[in-house]
Structures are given as structure tokens and as C-alpha cells.
Structure 1
Amino acid sequence: MSSIKIPRHADHDYTYAAADERRQFIQNQTGADLSHTSQYSFDPAILPGNIENFTGVVQMPLGFAGPLLVNGEHASGDFYVPMATTEGTLVASYSRGMGLTRAAGGVKTTVVDDAMQRSPVFAFEDARGARDFALWVTENFAGIKAAAETTTSSGKLRNIEQYPASRMLYLRFNFTTGDAAGQNMCGKAAYTACQWIIANYQGQMSHYFLSGNMDTDKKHSQLNTLHSRGKRVIAEVTLPRALLLEKMRTTPEKMYAARRTSQLGGLMAGAVHNGVHTANGIASVFIATGQDEANVAESHASLVYAEITPAGDYYYSVTLPSLIVATYGGGTGLATQKECLQVMDCYGAGKVRKLAEIIAATILCGEVSLGAAVVSEEWVSSHDELGRNRP
């Protein structure tokens, strides 16, 4: 049976009429009803660069958690956090954690690193050729940097990591990218830099590939956990003993015992990080604010640390080593996503670190809330009341 192509138009593909035509085509081909996907409030003309074959929308429920009190260097004060999800109890749990941390004086947040990568690989006749090239790259960093930065006004090449293996040299270009997530920006800049390298290197080179996969784009990796990808941001709070007893019906000792036990279980299972459910909060905020949803694969990695203080209170921190977010470009300018960013005053230039701090604080609140629910044996009952575990 011959395939029938989905209708497309070279000159007017992002229009109401083109979307209507595609919906009708899909309905005719499948017999499905697309009446709900046809309802949206924005002009399709804003979509070039975001999607192809635009046909309609998939609507997700949106809730706001908060108020979240953040004591950051870029985010300061109370925020209401948009979360798009279909999982009952999620918004309620994050709001509960936000209420707890607010009563404790807020969540302290710090962005400690900021870099986006592209990792070309160069191959040579033997390992000595790769070693000689590595020395040349170090000596010619200024020229490589200048070439890369001709392609972008906001991207800056910070440094180049080198990883030799066999007769190859893997280079990991680290860029700062302003308020954009920057993967495409870095790809274009690295390509131009590689062309400059090929034109100027006098030694013998077999071949190169623009991606050697050591940036591990949209994949979790230990390298990104150690060296950062996107924003490396840390959220921390000290929860008074009395507050945990009053609001969470548990103690620092019980929370800490559960933390130790779960870390051993995670180690036995081969878990890649020791967070509780960071992907829940990151995915829901990402969808609401127009982030690249595939970046959840890297961004959800978390390093949780806790201790009982000498005063008997509970110190808790979450480090997100690979949080990839944007406040400009990509899906952030779409109608509903832009509104959600504006609720937090996080749309546009100069706001990306503010957004990173808000997300990190949000994640900490969700981790504490779920952890306390498990310890106090309220986890199942809350899902029975608010979630999908209904008889």
C-alpha cells in the first residue's frame, strides 16, 4: 500500500488553514476525532522553529505551587511556580514543601557553574599524533575561541577540555550561552571552530566528527555530574526540629535514617543519583515554561546531602549539576509558556539564573515533602485522596 504524505505548504504552512487541512487529513486517515486538539488561542505564525506539521495542541493541566520563598543571588522573595502535570498529589506535595521551607526562613540558592558543551573528536594515525594535536590546541586556544565566537553575539568559549583515547582526541568545548539553553548555538560555534582548526593545523589528521558524544547531549552522564552542563545550582535549607514535628509529623532523626537507608538501596540498584523524585518537579516546570523537555534526561540528576546539626535541626541540600534552562528562545516565547515565565518574572534577557534558582528551590521542597510523607507513612494515603490510587 502506498503511503499518503501529510499535507505541507512551502509558503503558508504555519496558518490556521494549514493546521485545519492537516487535522482533516489525520481524521480521514484514522477515523479519530481531533476536536479538542483544534482549540488553541495563539496564531500559528509564531511557531516556525518550534515544530513542523503543526496540527493543533495537546493540553495539559496546569497548577501553581507556592508561595515559594527563595533567598538567592538572582531570585529573591516569594514565587508561585507553574507546574504542568497529570499526576495527582504532585502540586500539593510541592506546595507542602514550600510551606515548610517558607516557615523555616526560605531556601538559599547559589549558581556555582554555567556551561554548555559540544564535543568534537579528531582522529590521527597514532596516539602520538593525537598528543601533538592536543599541545597545538592548547597553544592556539585564542584563535579557536575567536573563530567560534564569530557565529554568536551571546555565546562565549570559556575553555576546552581534552580527553585522549587510542589515536583520538576528544575535545569538550565549554560555552557560556547567556539566557538561551544554547545547544544549537554551541553546535554552530563548535563547527566553525573546527573548520578553523582544520584550516590551520599543519600536522597529519585522519578525520574528525563534530560530535564525539562526550557532551552526552540529552543523556545522563557521570561526566556532566562532575563537570556540569547548563547551570550547576545548589539549594539548601535548615529545618528546625519543632517545625518538622509540627508540619511533617516526623523528626530529623527519622528523616536522616530514611536518607541513609534509601542511599544504600539506590547504591544496590545502581541508581545514577540519590534524589527522591527530581524528575517530577523538573519535567512539570519544564513543560509549563517552554523548556526542551528532552533535557529532563540530564537535568534531573541530583546530589542530595543531609545532616543533623549540633542544635538538633535538619540541614538538607540539593545540588543540580546539569540544569539546562532558558528564558529566551526555543519554546519560551510561545503564548502560554511565556505567561508562565512572566508569573515568576523570568521571561527574557538577564533572567536565566533567576529561573535556575527558583527551579532548584522547588526541587528541594519536593524532595523534603515526599521524604517526610514516606517517613510519616502518609505517602499512600495522600495518593488515595488526591491521586490516581482510587478504588
Structure 2
Amino acid sequence: MPRSNRPALVVAAVSAFALLAAASAVTNPLRAAETTPRPAAPAPGATAQATRPAAPAANPREESGKHPDGTLAFRVRLNAAGQRHGDFTAYFPGGKKVQEKSRYDAGKLHGLRATFDETGKPLTDETWYEGRLVFPKSTKLIEATRAQILKDTADYLKAHPPALPKGGPSLQSYGEALVRLRTYRYLCDIAWDVGYDDNYIDLCQHGAELMAMLNELTHTPKKTDGVSDEFYAKAKQGCGSSNIFTSSNIVASVDAYMDDSDRSNIDRLGHRRWILNPRMANTGFGAGPGKFSAMYSFDSKRENTPDYDYVAFPPRGYFPANMFRASQAWHISVNPKHHTVSTGAKMTIYAVDQKLKRSAEPLELNYQNVNLDPFGISNAIIARPKTLPLRPGAMFEVVVSGLTPRGDQPKEISYFVAFY
């Protein structure tokens, strides 16, 4: 079970319904301006020279494919070496509706790649660099999805209103906390449609109320006078199966669990890892009349959990700078089906420039550790920079070494983080 956050970890509440503030304008570091040079004007008094008409350019070689119905499936230009080079467009059967737009350079994806459903709705908006996916989601797509999460959560609560305990959080607080939770999961590339379970809410509410009676933050509360056996059984299970927090503000609690970088929690980041458990399907919150709250964390009932390579925070790609602090630890939990992790694993963080070139030296760390306890995913490689230049536009490469791969998995993992 995760140990408790200390009061020093309490952070100011940030309304989840304020998540839709417009993102800072971000220039894609890999998108170079394409300009056509104009011919120089003749010098004053110069005589224009006769020129021979230019020979017509040879048609570029192309590669194309067809669907079984004979309609165009894709088209892309080729260079002299026969490699894909230029714009690539793929179509749904029928050859009219665009399924993908991307760009190749000498046979490798390089630049923007977007995919669409049959209605034209964007599904992905990626940035590739020399055949490597570096930014899985554009800032535009991230902000659009955050807006969709807000709407979907409101619709979900209308269709599945949680059983509100007497004296517990308001429906608005439940909504804001769930939006916050879902947003973190979306940004970290795991299934984000977590819902509420009324039984979990009931257990957390009992746990929060008992902690208020005891005036103690604890996963193992003692029975006190005036508490029935039934109440105590629920409270004990609620405290023992939850992240717990020294405030009744359940929205602020989600941010505190994701921070998790105080002295008593940084060695394992257990609260954060429970929130980012890929198998989580439902949760619940409870808040007592005093200064304590709980979030149910032990749910692992998601069916058909999508496969993944790793879960990291901050995650690969673009990430809102206002959802991270320079004092927070970085971590990665790799899929145990893909790698074995030992205590010798290591995370190294480099600042990179607009061309993704590493700085000469990695960032100096003031903390690092490997934890193999089963908080969601049963491993975490943890590091915290001593000084982090956290600002919109700052980019970093994270390199994880010391892994033992299974099958054809890589021995080393690296990914880029760009704050905006």
C-alpha cells in the first residue's frame, strides 16, 4: 500500500474545469519554413539576356496502391533511389476520403503525420523525425481532447450520477476530480475513460470520516468509540485500498498524488503510479468533515487493457507546463511483458535544442531510485533534476538504460518531452 502524503504535500486546488485555458502558441521545432526564392531583379541599366525555354521537368516517379475494389489506396512520390520522398496520402475504399496525410524524406517518415476517420475527424496528429515518432500528439489535438474530456465527463455524470454520501463532496467536485484524473491519464497515453463505482465511493467516504474522527492520516485506522463494526469495516477497507490526502479538497488531491515528490513518497511514487495504472477502470472519492480525503486506487478491472511499452510522467511528447513543477520527480514504468527491470536501471535527462540535439552533459540529479513494488505497474525508474529549466518551449530527451529486454525489445528506451 502507498504510504501517506504528509501535510507539506498539500497543493492549492486547481479547478479541473479550468483545464481549457488556451495553450501557449507553440512552433513545431521540426517544421521548417518552405519558401521559393525569387529571381534577382536585373541591375539598373543592364540589358536583359535572351534565355532558352526551360525543358519540361520529367514526371517524378510515384508509388501507388489500390484497394480490392480497384480504387486508389495511397500515392507517394519516390526519389531517384526509389525511396518514398515527399507527400504521402492514403484513402479509404472508394479513393476519395482521405485516411492519412504524411511526409517522407529518403524513405523515412519525417514531419507531420495525420490520420482521420471516414467523417474527416482527426484521429492522430503526430510529428516524426527521420523515421522516429517524437511527438505523438500535437498541442492542438491535446487541447481539443481536453475539451472533449470535459464534455464527456459532464455527459457521463448525467448518465451515471454517483451516489453522493451525506456530508461528502459535491457533484461538481466529483466532476472536477474525475476530469483531472482523466486528463493526466490521457496525457500519459493510457486509457482515460475511468468512471465511478458507488461501492468505492462509500468505502472512501467511511475512511475519510474515520480519519477525521481520529485526526490522523492513516491506511490502518483504529476503531474508536461510537463507531459500529459495520462502519469500521468499511472505513478500514477504504483507508487500506486508497490514496489518502491531508485535505478534504478531492480536486487538489489528484494533483498532490501526481506530484508525490515529498521526502516520504519520492522513493516509490506509489500514489502517482496507482493513478496511472493502465488496468484501472473505476475509482471513488470520499472526504470527511475535517481535513482528510481518500481516492480508491486498487481497482484493476479494466477489460482488454491495451498493450503499452511504458508509462512515464512527464510523458513522451508535448505536455502543459502548468501541470508540472520543477520540484517534481520524473519516472518511467516499463511493461513487465517487454522488459525486466533491476535496481541497476537508470534514467538520464538531457536538454535538447530545436533540432533535438542533446546538450553536452545531462541534467544534474538530486535524486534517483528504482522501485520494484507493485504500485499499479511493478517497477518505477525515478529521477529528479537538481535544476529544471521549466518553461514553455523547453525540450528534453529521456534515456532509460540498464533494462533487460524480452524478445526483440530494445535494451535502451529514449523519448522526448516538450513543455508548452
Q: In which range does the TM-score fall when normalised by the shorter chain?
A: under 0.3
- The structure with the largest helix share of the pair is 1
Q: Going by fraction, where is strand more abundant, 1 or 2?
A: 2
Comparing both chains, which one has the higher relative contact order based on Cα–Cα distances under 8 Å and sequence gaps of 6 or more? 1
So what's the TM-score if we normalise by structure 1?
0.22
